[in-house]
Chains A and B, each alone.
Chain A
Amino acid sequence: MPVNTRRSDDGETRIIAIEGRFDFSTHQAFRDAYEKDSEGIRHWVVDMSDTTYLDSSALGMLLLLRDFAGGDQASIRIKNCNNDVRRILTISNFEQLFAIE
């Protein structure tokens, strides 16, 4: 599976890691990753350590996660982006919506 999830020790943070290309083919898996058993989750981390590429439909999926996680009140951090991924997030000015580390 290209999308892996785990819960932090305190149980309040879900970490979603995407392997390889983050594009439309990841749609269902990514959605499952944030929707399933998400009760009690207050913070979200999208770990891009192993993400090689990000396309615009992936940006759309991040917005869906943001809506799911509470819209403007959502607490979402995007971590460990490589340069290509970082560039796409920057062009789209997603740092205005997400904490990008």
Chain B
Amino acid sequence: MTDSANPRQLRLLIADDSNTDRLILQAILTRQGHEVQAAVDGEAAVNLYESWQPDMVLLDVMMPRLDGVEAARRIKELAGERLVPVIFLTSLSDSGALAQCLESGGDDFLPKPYNPVIIRAKLGAFDRMRRMHETLTRQRDLIRERNEQLLSEQVTARRVFDNIAHTGCLDVADIRYHASPLSVFNGDILFACPRPAGGMHLLVGDFTGHGLPAAIGALPVAEIFYGMTSKGFSGPDVLRELNQKLVRILPTGIFCCACFVEVDFRDRRVRAWNGGLPDGFILRVDGSRDTLPSTGLPLGVLAPERFAASMSEYVVRPGDQLLLMTDGVLEAGNAGGDWFGEQRLARVLDECPADTSPADFLVEQVQAFSGRSEDTDDLTILALKISADDPVASRPPKASHSALTGPASWSCRYQLDGETLAGFNPLPLLLHVCMAVAGLRQHSGPVYTILSELYNNALEHGILQLSSLWKDGAEGFNRYYAERQARLKQVGSDQYIRFDLEHRMRASGGRLIIRCQDSGKGFKVDRNPGPVLSVGSERAFAGRGIPLIQQLSSDLTYNKEGNCAEVVYDWKSVDTGFEERAGFSD
């Protein structure tokens, strides 16, 4: 081959105290096209190596001042990670001595007297080795650098992700959760967000696959989940939006198994939707438990028109525990090749002590089973203890930026007509209009509750003429909702619900007036004694709606016909007496 017959020019350092030998070698190497410098002893060779940085070194073994073996050791040390082949020049023929040359750090030896053919071949071989080493070193450095870059990008990405995903209420005392701190890139998600009307939404999910696609999918999920929940959208609305967004952005084959739960502390109800995650559980105070089984396809699989976001409803009591998990629990393995599995899970849930959160207990048990704590990196578990009071509503509100920014004096009318009433929820929109007033944002909970109670009363009792007396007992409840669904389909085109909103600033706060009128027949109002409404009236309200509005607002009045309610909501800036209104939880 031309390459070995005519090797590249190399920078060669030779050291030999014998003038004759040195000159012969120098002449051979120069004739073969290399650049050569020569030293007369070991120490000179080391110095020359340092100043000239040759590609290869050829050393006589026996030299004054510093022998070849020691010079080789120092040169190798100076070379560090660079591969600088060192070849010993020797007239020794004893195999023990030759072997010692290599053991002491040399790479090969050249026997004297010199043979130009052998020299050319050896230099060619070492040059190939040297260059391969250089390539490997360069590639390793590149990989190392890229990896560091990737890690630092992941840290930054994690920070962005945390800003989007962890603004929720995972930190309330009643929630215990376990999630991998390792990376956002394992594809598991875990979110909790308070609802403006009280209660919260929870979402536990698991993207197919790991890495970048999963992390990218998690971002819009977080944003939709937090954004829509805090604007007052219902669970099915949020789920539908999540599904259609994921269908649109994720390639076929990537999807998100998820369990979505809406918790209502006031009504003591839990609504759940599970698509593709293992069973969730409600662990009852009395030791029994309900399962929240997967009934739907994962998010991001079905086209929007085929997606069903219907949620199952459960009645809960204070002290009950809600438990959600991804499949990392069931699929945790041990050294024996067994899986944790459903039966072990059932046993662990049976054995969970009353004073321990099932999330903590389960993590402990899975760890004990697998015997390896790193296995729990795949575990994502959330437990919420149902409390008598809403854990979020009782938290102090965040300080406002400025109560005085945004619109101060405004009014608007929003009317829903005919069949639009059947399928559209106007509450997020109305809340959004009100929340343009910065100072009112601290009051989004009560304002949302007032809007939603007014709207539901107008729709269910005014338009649909449902009697809330039916709501007694579980059967009645079902009948009520079945009837509600049926009547919604028959809403006439002349029916309407109209909201009139009006806002004015006042000293250290403002006044929001909400009027809600419907096209229904109305009901008899006992007008004299102010806010008290008789329960036995034709339009019998179920217990809480009206008293709740009364409790939250400054004033509630009905017109004579009983089909128009007016609520006056006075608010003060947080720093000047928000406490008066903060008693939101009853």
Contact = CB atoms under 8 A, between A and B. Distances in A.
Interface of A: 24, 56-57, 59-61, 63-64, 67, 90-94, 96-97
Given A60-B209, A91-B294, 8 more contacts: A56-B257, A90-B294, A91-B257, A91-B327, A92-B294, A92-B298, A93-B275, A96-B297
B255 interface: yes
Task: Point out which of A57, A93, A96, A97 has the most chain B C-beta atoms below 10 A from its C-beta.
Answer: A93
21 contacts: A56-B208, A56-B257, A56-B327, A57-B253, A59-B208, A60-B208, A60-B209, A60-B252, A60-B253, A63-B253, A63-B301, A64-B253, A67-B252, A90-B294, A91-B277, A92-B275, A92-B297, A93-B294, A93-B296, A93-B297, A97-B297
B278 interface: yes
Contacts of B257: 56, 91-92
Interface in B234-279: 252-255, 257, 275-278
Contacts of B16: none
B253 A91 contact: no
A48 B257 CA distance: 23
Interface of B: 206, 208-209, 252-255, 257, 275-278, 294-298, 301, 327
Contacts of A67: 252
Task: Point out which of B257, B278, B295, B297 has the most chain A C-beta atoms below 10 A from its C-beta.
Answer: B297
A60 B255 CA distance: 8
B252 A63 contact: yes
A57 B276 contact: no
A92 B276 contact: yes
Contacts of A64: 252-253
Contacts of A96: 297
A56 B209 contact: yes
B208 A57 contact: yes
Contacts of A90: 294
A94 B276 CA distance: 9
A14 B257 CA distance: 29
A61 B294 contact: no
Contacts of B252: 60, 63-64, 67
Contacts of B206: 56
Contacts of B295: 93
B252 to A, nearest CB: 5
B279 to A, nearest CB: 8
Contact of A61 (B253, B278, B327): B253
Contacts of A91: 257, 276-278, 294, 327
Contacts of B298: 92
Contacts of A57: 208-209, 253
Nearest to A59: B208
Contacts of B278: 91
A60 B298 CA distance: 11
Contacts of A56: 206, 208-209, 257, 327
Contacts of B301: 63, 97
A96 B255 CA distance: 16
Contacts of B209: 24, 56-57, 60
Contacts of B297: 92-94, 96-97
Contacts of B277: 91
A94 to B, nearest CB: 7
A85 B428 CA distance: 42
Contacts of B208: 56-57, 59-60
A93 B296 CA distance: 6
Contacts of A24: 209
B374 to A, nearest CB: 19
Given A56-B209, A60-B208, A93 B276 contact: yes
B432 to A, nearest CB: 34
A20 to B, nearest CB: 14
A49 B206 CA distance: 27
Nearest to A64: B253
A70 to B, nearest CB: 13
Contact of A63 (B255, B275, B327): B255
A33 to B, nearest CB: 15
A91 B275 CA distance: 8
Nearest to A90: B294
B210 to A, nearest CB: 9
Contacts of A59: 208, 255
3 A-B pairs closest in CB distance: A60-B253, A56-B208, A92-B276
Nearest to B306: A72
Nearest to A24: B209
A61 B255 CA distance: 11
A60 to B, nearest CB: 3
Given A93-B275, A93-B276, A97-B301, A60 B254 contact: yes
Nearest to A27: B253
A56 B300 CA distance: 13
A90 B278 CA distance: 10
A64 B174 CA distance: 41
